[in-house]
């Protein structure tokens, strides 16, 4: 049977992996959301510029 100190070590290790998993989740989703926002904004700017130079523009 594991001693109380071994149990505490195991608990600490488990907790570290849990923290790592949630950190990875937020970093990956956050980075991708940022990328998606930037791409959306850049596409909007590209569209605005194209619309300004378009011969049939109404804006």
Residues lying near other proteins in the complex (CB under 8 A) are found at 10-11, 13-15, 17-18, 20-22, 24-25, 28-29, 32-33, 36-37, 39-40, 42-44, 46-51, 53-59
CB of 39 to other proteins, least distance (A): 4
In the complex with other proteins, which residue's Cβ is closer, 3 or 13? 13
Q: Residue 50, class by beta-carbon neighbours within 10 Å (0-12 exposed, 13-18 middle, 19+ buried)?
A: exposed
Angle, alpha carbons 39-29-24 (nearest 5°): 140
CB of 38 to other proteins, least distance (A): 9
Helices (H), 3-58: 4-53
């Amino acid at each position: 049977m594991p001693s109380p100190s071994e149990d505490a070590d195991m608990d600490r290790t488990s907790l570290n992996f849990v923290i790592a998993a949630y950190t990875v989740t937020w970093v990956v989703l956050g980075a991708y959301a940022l990328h998606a926002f930037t791409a959306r904004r850049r596409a909007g700017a590209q569209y605005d510029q194209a619309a300004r130079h378009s011969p049939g523009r109404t804006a």
